[in-house]
């Protein structure tokens, strides 16, 4: 069945270092969305990518959608303590959404 | 504009009991999704309702059920509670039934089964 996997599961970085999480789907996706969940909070929508090879930026965050529309990445430049949380990707296909397993980011001040 | 609301915030039950969780979507949204998030784990898809009908369900036993009312609010029922049902239950809504729709999450209901 459809699976969306994320790596790494956990990541600890020093404040100021970069961070990347990768999302891989077993099948081609029609779109991919990224969500952030702060500790004790609920997932909040960050961005959606639809086109093959699409790249979008939000300040220090860069999102990419692979050419084959089966993988995506989120890169944070110069992490800050406010970046702490779990980042989920969610792949859309047909009438389904499949959330990734999430990457928990810890930023050490 | 009010966001997605869920009630209750916390719910404590004992094994074998039934739990009912409620969700009100953002005004104008017709789709409601339910997810289970066990401690330290990702989001496990439970159910999806749109326009009052169940569109899809995840890999959960039949004792997890729900419905969507004419006003698009939704209820999740969990029968014969087991200890491993303890989790945060998140509801999300979206404007329509397309896979390109953003999901807006509520604060969740923390269910504890003793």
Does B99 sit within 8 Å of A31, measured CB to CB?
yes
> Given a cut of 90, is residue A99 above it in pLDDT?
no
CA A42 to chain centre: 15
Q: What is the pLDDT of residues A10-23, one digit of tens each?
A: 999 999 999 999 99
Chain A residues whose C-beta sits inside 8 Å of any chain B C-beta: 30-31, 33, 35, 41-45, 48, 50, 88, 90, 92-102
> Given a cut of 90, is residue B100 above it in pLDDT?
no
Band the pLDDT of B56: cuts 50, 70, 90: confident
pLDDT at res. A44: 93
Nearest CA to A25 out of A85, A69, A74, A87 is that of: A69
Residue A21 vs residues B11, B37, B44, B71, B107: alpha-carbon distances, Å: 34, 20, 20, 39, 25
- The rounded distance, in Å, linking the Cα atoms of A47 and A33 is 6
Average pLDDT, chain B: 92
The strand pairing partners of B88, in sequence order, are B37, B110
Band the pLDDT of A2: cuts 50, 70, 90: low
Q: What is the pLDDT of residues B63-76, one digit of tens each?
A: 999 999 999 999 99
Three-point CA angle B4, A105, A65, nearest 5°: 75
Q: What residues of B are in contact with residue A32 (Cβ under 8 Å)? A: none
Does B56 sit within 8 Å of A95, measured CB to CB?
yes
> Given a cut of 80, is residue B99 above it in pLDDT?
no
> Given a cut of 90, is residue B87 above it in pLDDT?
yes
Coil, helix or strand for A51?
coil
**Contact criterion met (CB below 8 Å) for A34 and A105:** no
- The rounded distance, in Å, linking the Cα atoms of A29 and A60 is 25
- The rounded distance, in Å, linking the Cα atoms of A107 and A14 is 6
- Better pLDDT: A20 or B95: A20
Query: Which is it for strands B10-13 and B109-113: parallel, antiparallel or unpaired?
Result: parallel
- The rounded distance, in Å, linking the Cα atoms of A85 and A78 is 15
- The rounded distance, in Å, linking the Cα atoms of B95 and B28 is 7
Alpha-carbon gap: A85 to the closest alpha carbon of chain B (Å) = 12
Share of chain A above pLDDT 90, in %: 79
């Amino acid at each position: 069945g459809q699976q969306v996997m994320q790596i790494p599961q956990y990541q600890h970085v020093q404040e100021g270092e970069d961070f990347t999480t990768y999302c891989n789907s077993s099948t081609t996706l029609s779109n991919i969305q990224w969500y952030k969940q702060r500790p004790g909070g609920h997932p909040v929508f960050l961005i959606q990518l639809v086109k093959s090879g699409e790249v979008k930026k939000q300040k220090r965050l860069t999102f990419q959608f692979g050419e084959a529309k089966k993988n995506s990445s989120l890169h944070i430049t110069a992490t800050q303590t406010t970046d702490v949380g779990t980042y989920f990707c969610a792949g859309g296909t047909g009438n389904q959404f499949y959330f990734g397993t999430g990457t928990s980011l810890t930023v050490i001040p | 504009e009010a966001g997605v609301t869920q009630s209750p915030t916390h719910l404590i039950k004992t094994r074998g009991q039934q739990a009912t969780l409620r969700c009100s979507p953002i005004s104008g949204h017709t789709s409601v999704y339910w997810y289970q998030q066990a401690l330290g784990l990702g989001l496990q898809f439970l159910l999806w309702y749109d326009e009052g009908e169940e569109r899809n369900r995840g890999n959960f036993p039949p004792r997890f059920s729900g419905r969507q009312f004419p006003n698009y609010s939704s209820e999740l029922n969990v029968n014969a509670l087991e200890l491993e049902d303890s989790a945060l239950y998140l509801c999300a809504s979206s404007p329509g039934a397309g896979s390109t729709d953003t999901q807006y999450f509520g604060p969740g209901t923390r269910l504890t089964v003793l």
